[in-house]
Amino acid sequence: MNHTRVSRFALLALLLTAPWFAASVAAQPKAAAGPAATIARVELTSDQGVIPLKREEQIAFMFVDAINNLEDNCSRSSAEPCTLEALVRGPKAKDDFSAGKLKYDPNATDPNYTYTVALKGRDWEIWANPRKPGLGGFYAKGKFFGGKWYNPAGPATEGSTKITGSTVGGDLFWVQ
């Protein structure tokens, strides 16, 4: 008899609290998805020391670094030019070894930057230009006489601060 009363009480309590519980779950902020959800750690250095970056800039650098790595793979493994569009879908391989691809389309998933890739023979150039004031830009040049640069005040060029070291710890924005 007591067991029946406890069960009925538990059922009544559940029915009375279920709407509150459902409403509180629905009110919780949604977890970020895509590149913004990364918890990767990014550190850049120049001849002057550590370059302080906003989180949006770290994400932009992660895309530039991923594109740069894929372009290097593409020069050996791709059967087609590795445009940004090809890197998003995955370029056609010329043998059994794939060049890899981007996990995300940077121009579709990063509201803070515009990404551009220019191919010049076996060399490439990459730009991450800020769409909003207050963000720095990145420029990378690959293959011969390559490097990466950062401008805290907008689009970067070879005349900007040269990045002498970079570390991306954790998540990467490209897959093999």
- Alpha carbon separation from 19 to 7, 13, 23, 26, 30 (Å, rounded): 19, 11, 6, 11, 19
Strands (DSSP E) contained in 18-61 are: 41-46, 49-51
Do the beta carbons of residue 163 and residue 92 sit within 8 Å?
no
Report domain extents, the chain: 42-175
The tokens for 12 are 């009544």
Residue 121 has a pLDDT of 84
Neighbours of 32 (CB within 10 A): 9
pLDDT tens-place string over residues 2-26: 554 444 544 444 444 444 434 443 4
pLDDT tens-place string over residues 35-48: 989 999 999 999 99
Report whether pLDDT(124) > 90: yes
Beta bridge partners of 36: none
Reported residue count of the chain is: 176
d(CA 94, CA 75): 11
pLDDT tens-place string over residues 72-114: 988 888 889 999 999 999 999 888 778 899 999 999 999 999 9
